[in-house]
Amino acid sequence: MTAPRRLLLAAALLTVLSVRADLIWSPETGWRSAGGVVSPLVAPGDQGGKALDLMNAARSAEEQGAKGRALSLYESVAKQFPHSIYAGEALYRAGNLRLDRHQYVTAFEHYQDAIQQHPDNTHFNEIIGQEYTISAALIDGARGYWWGVIPGFTNRRQGVDYGETILKTAPSSDYAPLVLMNLSRGHQRLGEKDESKDALDRLISDYPRSLLAPDAYLRLAQAYAADVQGPEYDQGATNQAITYFEDFTLQFPKDPNVPSAAKGIADLRTVLAKGKIQIGDFYFYKRDNFVAARVFYNEAITTYPDSAEAAIARSRLAEVDKVEPTYKPRKKFLGIF
Domains located in the chain, CATH noted: 1-100 (no CATH), 118-211 (1.25.40)
How much is the pTM? Answer: 0.82
Number of neighbours of residue 2 by Cβ within 10 angstroms: 7
User: For residue 42, what pLDDT is reported?
Assistant: 54
User: What mean pLDDT comes out for the span 101-122?
Assistant: 95
| Percentage of the chain exceeding pLDDT 70 | 87
Give the separation between CA 189 and CA 286, rounded to whole angstroms. 44
| Percentage of the chain exceeding pLDDT 90 | 74
Give the separation between CA 196 and CA 182, rounded to whole angstroms. 9
- Specify which residues 33 forms β-bridges with: 23, 36
The more confident residue out of 5 and 303 is: 303
Spatial CA neighbour of 216 closest among 231, 196, 230, 194 = 196
The more confident residue out of 148 and 47 is: 148
| Res 2 pLDDT > 70 | no
| Res 100 pLDDT > 80 | yes
- pLDDT confidence tier of residue 234, bands split at 50, 70 and 90: confident
User: For residue 332, what pLDDT is reported?
Assistant: 54
Written as one letter, the residue type at 312 is: I
User: What mean pLDDT comes out for the span 46-57?
Assistant: 82
Give the separation between CA 211 and CA 197, rounded to whole angstroms. 18
- pLDDT confidence tier of residue 14, bands split at 50, 70 and 90: very low
CA angle, residues 241, 246, 248, in degrees to nearest 5: 95
User: For residue 59, what pLDDT is reported?
Assistant: 95
